[in-house]
Structure 1
Amino acid sequence: MGRSRGNDEPGGPTTRPRTSPSTPAAPHPESAADARRQVAALLQRTGLPWNARVVTDALMVTTELVTNAIRHGGGLAAFHADVHEGALRVSVADHNPQPPITRAAPPAGSRIGGYGWPLVQSLAAHLTVTPRGGGKLITADLKLG
């Protein structure tokens, strides 16, 4: 079965085979908590064997990407998650064309935050940042097995 363009692409909704669950064609989440719920439900639907650490890692990456889009990216422009060939793919688009910055750790007590992007980098098996019409699309792949 072929794939047509997704809801965030010109051309209409996505057609997917049953073996590749994805987030429902719904408006993008309004918060990191909404995105986590969507990804948790997606992982439950896969039927793949997975452990608590894999779920924790997947939800952490989802939280960080969505939070960063909202906090630093001018808002969430698109969100999509699917499972294919034993991997979870989470894609988050925002309105800021600047790529994420990896900073050296600040001195203790001087700043809160700044650890999300390095965390995403360490947990994702594959990570891309793609310019996208006045913003960017970040896609993280996490192995589920």
Structure 2
Amino acid sequence: MCRQGHRSAVDTVADADHAVPTGPGSPADVRQAVRRALAGRSGGLTRDAEDAAGDVLLVASELVTNAMLHGGGVTGFDVTRTERAVRLSVSDRSDRLPVAVDQFDEVGRMRVGGRGWMIVCTLASDVVVSRLRAGGKRITAEVPLLPGPRV
């Protein structure tokens, strides 16, 4: 799923215990939830964490947009912040696993769109796709708030 050397996994789990039963209405709703989670922790963000917040917002937007476009809609969303990272979980109705799309079509023309999964895999330090027993899947991505090497 994500490129080699990047932690990603697929497993099967019961429906999420902590996911919101109904998903956000739009990527903008998710970005607001992420902003609240980032601001809600005492002590605020360091300058590096503020810079990384853009990565978190982008990953959240991409996960939700992909669930809406390819997953039959968002069925759950959860955001958790630790000192070093933000963990985002988005559930949808589809059993189809995400795939990276080649940026060029079969005749060499550059494709419009299709880069969301690549963005998630690039910015997240950890990505897990869990098949839900009741159907659908949950994608959990952990985005670091501290600067570090990107492979």
Q: Give the conservation status (yes or no) of the 8 Å contact 2:88–2:140.
A: yes
Higher relative contact order (CA 8 A, sep 6+): 2
| Aligned residues with identical type, % of pairs | 37
TM-score (norm 2): 0.74
Distance in 1 (CA, whole Å) between partners of 2:40 and 2:74 is: 25
Q: Give the conservation status (yes or no) of the 8 Å contact 1:50–1:144.
A: no
1:29 aligns to what? 24
2:115 aligns to what? 115
TM-score (norm 1): 0.77
Distance in 1 (CA, whole Å) between partners of 2:66 and 2:27 is: 9
Which has the higher mean CA deviation after the structures are superposed, 105-114 or 64-73?
105-114
Is there any run of 5+ residues in structure 1 with no aligned partner, and where?
Answer: 1-6, 15-22
Task: Report the CA distance shift for 1:130/1:26 in structure 2 as closer, same or farther (over 3 A).
Answer: closer
Task: Report the CA distance shift for 1:65/1:141 in structure 2 as closer, same or farther (over 3 A).
Answer: same
SS in structure 2 at match of 1:113: coil
Moved over 4 A (4+): 107-110
Q: Over aligned residue pairs, what C-alpha RMSD do you find?
A: 2.3
> How do 1:67-78 residues align onto structure 2 when only pairs under 5 Å count?
67-78=65-76
1:106 aligns to what? 104
2:56 aligns to what? 58
Structure 2 residue identity aligned to 1:41: R
Q: Give the conservation status (yes or no) of the 8 Å contact 1:93–1:136.
A: yes
How many residue pairs end up in the alignment? 126
